[in-house]
């Protein structure tokens, strides 16, 4: 993609306005046990923690010495004076902003990107010029134009970029560093370990005295909970970063763990990043096939662009998987997205791809009977036959119910539902909900593996989730509705809907 010379620049002096904000969606379904919304790497092995063998002094004492700085300097082939440790890459970025930005100074920032960069600039009182970067190549020409027009103090290159996964190239670093020798160029390389050959810009960036590289132990090294990042910079810039914040930037335990990870973790980190790359290719291909329009990524996540990102987030949450939905303001090419962290673990990745398939390509609708189609006690239909017919025209319909078969079949006939129901799993057939057996049996009889299920009570939701089926629930009405709605959400319902017709509408609009 050619550079966008005519890019519209968004001027956002403080107070802070995010480059991309949360979608404003309600909280995702409860019961999420696989968090793929934070981009953490895999935890080190149990053997690592045993070897770490930290004692209480590691918790009680302030950090001393510069052993970690020496190890990082050796790793990157620089002087130890060029290393500045921070409490995570976030802290390093905050220190950079406080060191060089102030009221009347400007940051040029391709967006969408890591939202904390703009926050730190705004807290420093600087103006942010946002250059759109929604696809393709890093917008080199637009960035240079903006920087020259404003005598920019700082330019950020986040590559691989969060949340898009897009990358800059070494020539981008060379171009801006050479053209703007008095501007500080910040290369945020938090996800560099996940890229293919040539993606890591660190070595190229370190050729330039006005470039600072930010790295982290939170991603590929799997130590996000210990909060440790670092900058590699010209000695004078590194000195600025050491003095603008608190004197103790990372605790003794964090430093010891990072040292041990550098010394012993190479094979684990390589296995993790290699698996992520392979799984990233597979997930990207799957999302393309399911019309979810993923961006090409070199990070440990993929940004999908389905027609309804909030729906995809909710459907995956209904299956216990947490992903992050975004809304990008003022960007016609990238109105919304769902960022999915790519697991390196094979079992977790298989679970993710199965859930994505069920969410975006269900093969059937599974319906509870009493409370969804019929009020059995009151002997009255809750939907019209035409509504069920319309649903069955989209996907096959099967029932799972605790009603006796004779009663179920008589009511299906009475209200004109029978022609539109492929199978009914009834009381006599086997264990009832919340056991997942009736839902699994319904799928078996249909000869499918993926479905959406609509029920009216927590047992229905629990059975669907346990069977790997996306759980919906009827929105309760009347006395006790608020309490029941809370229990349905607590059970893990992906969404509460008003009628069976909403299922067809959601499937058509996803």
Which spans in 7-126 are helix H?
46-52, 56-60, 67-76, 89-100, 115-123
Which tens digits make up the pLDDT trace of 431-469? 999 999 999 999 999 999 999 999 999 999 999 999 999
Q: Describe the chain by its helix, strand, coil percentages, rounded to 5.
A: 40, 15, 40
Same domain, 432 and 503: yes
Same domain, 332 and 391: no
Which tens digits make up the pLDDT trace of 31-54? 899 999 999 898 888 888 888 877
Q: 45 φ, ψ to 5°? A: -70, 165
Same domain, 258 and 167: yes
- pLDDT at position 326: 87
3-class DSSP state of 473:
strand
Residue 207 maps to which CATH number?
Answer: 3.40.640.10
Closest among 360, 348, 255 to 307, alpha carbons compared: 360
- pLDDT at position 16: 33
- pLDDT at position 74: 97
Ranges in the chain, pLDDT < 70:
1-29, 330, 332, 509-510
d(CA 360, CA 290): 7
| Tokens, residue 102 | 């102030």
Same domain, 283 and 388: no
* Tokens 């969410």 sit on residue: 359
Same domain, 204 and 172: yes
Domain finish residue from 332, 359, 386: 359
Same domain, 348 and 370: no
Closest among 429, 440, 475, 436 to 455, alpha carbons compared: 475
Number of structural domains found in the chain: 2
Q: Kindly report the CA angle at 461 between 421 and 319, in degrees rounded to 5? A: 105
| Tokens, residue 325 | 């939905």
- pLDDT at position 429: 95
3-class DSSP state of 246:
coil
* Cis bond before residue 241 (omega within 30° of 0): no
Same domain, 336 and 401: no
Closest among 16, 10, 184 to 105, alpha carbons compared: 184
Q: Is 325 left (phi over 0), alpha (psi -120 to 50) or beta?
A: beta
Same domain, 313 and 414: no
Domain finish residue from 359, 385, 407: 359
CB of 192 closer than 8 Å to CB of 200 = yes
Q: What distances in angstroms separate CA 453 from CA 151, 187, 295, 395, one per listed residue?
A: 58, 47, 30, 12
Same domain, 484 and 350: no
- Enumerate the β-bridge partners of residue 157: 187
CB of 327 closer than 8 Å to CB of 33 = no
d(CA 166, CA 159): 7
Domain finish residue from 329, 359, 389: 359
Residue 467 maps to which CATH number?
Answer: 3.40.50.1000
Same domain, 186 and 334: yes
Same domain, 318 and 456: no
Cβ-in-10-Å burial (0-12, 13-18, 19+) of 257 comes to buried
User: Using H for helix, E for strand and C for coil, what is the string for 10-28?
Assistant: EECCCCCCCCCEECCCCCC
- pLDDT at position 510: 47
Same domain, 205 and 343: yes
Cβ neighbours around 196 below 10 Å, total: 9
For residue 190, give the H/E element and its range: none
Give the residue numbers spanning the domain of 270: 1-359
């Amino acid at each position: 993609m050619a550079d966008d010379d005519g890019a519209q620049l968004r001027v956002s002096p403080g107070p802070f306005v995010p480059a991309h904000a949360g979608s404003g969606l309600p909280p995702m379904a409860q019961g999420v046990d696989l968090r793929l919304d934070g981009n953490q790497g895999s935890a080190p092995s149990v053997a690592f923690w045993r070897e770490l063998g930290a004692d209480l002094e590691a918790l009680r004492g302030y950090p001393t010495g510069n052993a970690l700085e020496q190890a990082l300097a050796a790793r990157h082939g620089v002087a130890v004076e060029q290393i500045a440790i921070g409490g995570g890459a976030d802290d390093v970025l905050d220190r950079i902003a406080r060191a060089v930005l102030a009221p009347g100074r400007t940051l040029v920032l391709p967006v969408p990107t890591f939202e904390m960069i703009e926050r730190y600039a705004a807290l420093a009182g600087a103006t942010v010029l946002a250059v759109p970067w929604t696809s393709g190549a890093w917008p080199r020409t637009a960035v240079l134009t903006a920087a020259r027009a404003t005598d920019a103090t700082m330019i950020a290159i986040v590559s691989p970029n969060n949340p898009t996964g897009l990358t800059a190239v070494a020539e981008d670093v060379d171009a801006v560093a050479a053209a703007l020798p008095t501007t500080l160029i910040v290369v945020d390389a938090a996800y560099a370990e996940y890229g293919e050959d040539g993606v890591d810009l660190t070595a190229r960036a370190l050729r330039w005295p006005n470039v600072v590289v930010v790295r982290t132990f939170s991603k590929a090294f799997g130590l996000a909970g210990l909060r440790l990042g670092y900058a590699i910079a010209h000695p004078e810039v590194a000195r600025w970063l050491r003095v603008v914040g608190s004197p103790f930037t990372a605790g003794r335990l964090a430093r010891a763990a990072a040292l041990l990870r550098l010394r012993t973790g190479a094979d684990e980190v390589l296995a993790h990043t290699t698996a992520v790359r392979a799984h990233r290719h597979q997930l990207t291909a799957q999302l393309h096939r399911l019309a979810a329009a993923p961006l090409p990524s070199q990070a440990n996540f993929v940004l999908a662009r389905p027609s309804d990102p909030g729906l995809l987030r909710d459907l995956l949450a209904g299956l216990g998987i947490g992903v992050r939905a975004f809304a990008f303001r003022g960007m016609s090419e990238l109105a919304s997205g769902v960022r999915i962290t790519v697991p390196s673990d094979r079992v977790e990745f298989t679970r993710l791809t199965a859930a994505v398939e069920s969410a975006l390509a269900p093969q059937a609708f599974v319906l509870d009977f009493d409370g969804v189609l019929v009020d059995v006690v009151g002997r009255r239909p809750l939907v019209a036959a035409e509504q069920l017919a319309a649903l069955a025209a989209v996907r096959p319909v099967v029932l799972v119910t605790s009603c006796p078969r004779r009663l179920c079949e008589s009511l299906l006939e009475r209200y004109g539902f029978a022609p539109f129901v492929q199978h009914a799993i009834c009381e006599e057939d086997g264990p009832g909900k919340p056991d997942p057996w009736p839902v699994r049996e319904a799928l078996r009889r249909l000869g499918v593996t993926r479905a959406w299920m609509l029920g009216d009570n927590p047992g229905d939701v629990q059975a669907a989730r346990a069977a790997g089926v996306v759980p919906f629930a009827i929105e309760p009405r009347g006395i006790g509705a608020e309490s029941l709605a809370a229990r349905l959400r607590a059970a893990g319902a992906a969404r509460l809907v008003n009628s069976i017709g909403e299922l067809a509408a959601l499937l058509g609009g996803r």
